A = this chain, B = another copy of it.
Amino acid sequence: MAHAEIIAVGSELLTPQFLDTNSLFITEHLNNLGVEVVAKEVIGDDRDRLTGAILVAVNRCEVVVVSGGLGPTEDDVTRDAAATALQRKLVLSLEQESILVHRFRQINRPMAPNNIRQAYLIEGAIALANPNGTAPGQFVPTRRGALILLPGPPRELRPMMVNEVVPRLRPMLPQQVIKVRTFRITGIGESDLDALIAPVYTKYTNPTTTILCSPGDLAVHLRACGKSEHEACALLREVGNRIAELVGDRIYSEKADEPLEAVVGCLLRKRRATVATAESCTGGMIASRLTDRGGSSDYFVAGLVTYTDAHKRELLGVKQDLIAKHTAVSEPVAAAMAECAVARTGATYGVSSTGYAGPQGGTPHDPVGTVYLGIAGPGGTRVSRIRHGGDRNRIRTLATQSALDLLRRRLRE
């Protein structure tokens, strides 16, 4: 398997505020070519240090990708450092010069004398087109493989990686196909999910399995490598199907970029149903997720955030004696809120939340972290009680996710 090293250049990436995130994108595309990333480095705008790092990297890896430091100023040291490391000259490319002149004319800005630096290529390099900026990338064949220089801004780097780098690397590498399968999962914690599926995935090194977690939302990524698409897909099917069986309907999507609100939106649209919300502790978070997708007016009609008992009565129509008898954080009030959301708005389904998000509040029976979630509509009214630890933000986020999942399950009935 070919090895790669990624070097990010820029003094700002060595401050407490900034992370190099380009390397994730680059890694994904290298992995898809069957190239493994074995080291990543961040170097400031320091010519000598960068020269040393590139020299070490090209001597031990087939693929070396450097991002950043291709601008027009003295601080932009990547071209110089790469040329020095490879003991090659920088040569003015007349073609790149004319592209640069043309580009400045196009954006109607004067070209500073400095900018001509961006038209210099390392001997033997292929220039990589940059439709979104002035710095061309460079693809430099080396003894072991290739040294690739990319501009730092993601909107310049990303299309260049996909359109210019990947097609040039592929023929240099052993033929193999990488395929990915993703499960998006909710309603189970990270360690429980791991305990559930580890007996399956630990038996395989191909596909590899990664579990990604955010509060209430997990993803399992399988990545298989085969000599053909058929082989890679067969591996994914074999392992993926066994995982899917164990996780069951806690899998809400197999699309990596499809959040829960999108799944709920599709189900509502398919059933020509609409939804309204009546929120207390989630304070509008359920409504804002339900309206997050374009076209959500097809299924979302209205929402009420009723933070006080008086507004639960007056805006929603929850009966005073119900609140007096059970308190606002209770199963009967959650049920009434969901039903009132339907009654007040004419929506097919009503979703409600009432709970203690903390840090203050709670009772011995319902301590901070307890939330009642109601769903009203076809199939009747049902309330779920959930309880989570953590801070206010975590409790509200988990309650919102659970509310959307309850609605998803109701819609699948």
Question: What residue of chain B has the Cβ atom nearest to residue A12's Cβ?
Answer: B210
Check A392–B28 contact: CB distance below 8 A.
no
Are A290 and B294 within 8 A (Cβ)? no
The interface centre, meaning the residue of A28, A306, A311 with most chain B CB atoms within 10 A of its CB, is A311
Query: Residues of B contacting A406 with CB < 8 Å?
Result: none
Q: Taking the nearest CB of chain B, how far is it from the CB of A201, in angstroms?
A: 14
Report the bound CA distance from A37 to B13 in whole Å. Answer: 10
A282 touches B292 (CB 8 A): no
- The answer to whether A294 and B39 touch (CB under 8 A), given A288-B282, A302-B306, is no
Interface size of A by CB at 8 A reads 65
Q: Residue of B at shortest CB range from A25? A: B16
- Cβ–Cβ < 8 Å partners of A302 in chain B: 304-308, 311, 315
**Is A212 located at the chain interface by the 8 A CB criterion?**
yes
- List A289-321 residues whose CB lies under 8 Å from chain B: 290-297, 300-308, 311, 315
Known contacts A14-B40, A28-B16, A360-B295; is-contact A284 B303 (Cβ 8 Å): yes
A359 interfacial by beta-carbon distance below 8 Å = yes
| Minimum CB distance partner of A46 in chain B | B38
Measured CB to CB, the closest approach of chain B to A284, in angstroms, equals 3
By secondary structure, the A interface counts as mixed
Q: Does A358 sit at the interface, judged by CB under 8 A?
A: yes
A19 proximal to B (CB < 8 A): yes
In angstroms, Cα B326 to Cα A134, docked, is 45
List B contacts of A295 (CB < 8 A).
Answer: 360
- Say yes or no: B287 contacts A305, CB within 8 Å: yes
A275 nearest CB across to chain B (Å): 10
Q: Mark A343-385, 1 if CB is under 8 A from B, else 0.
A: 0110000000000011110000000000000000000000000
Interface residues of A (CB under 8 A from B): 12-17, 19, 21, 24-25, 27-28, 31, 36-44, 46, 49, 53, 210, 212, 221, 277, 279, 282-288, 290-297, 300-308, 311, 315, 344-345, 357-360, 392-393, 396
Q: Which 7 A-B pairs have the closest CB atoms?
A: A283-B291, A284-B287, A284-B284, A303-B305, A16-B28, A284-B288, A302-B311
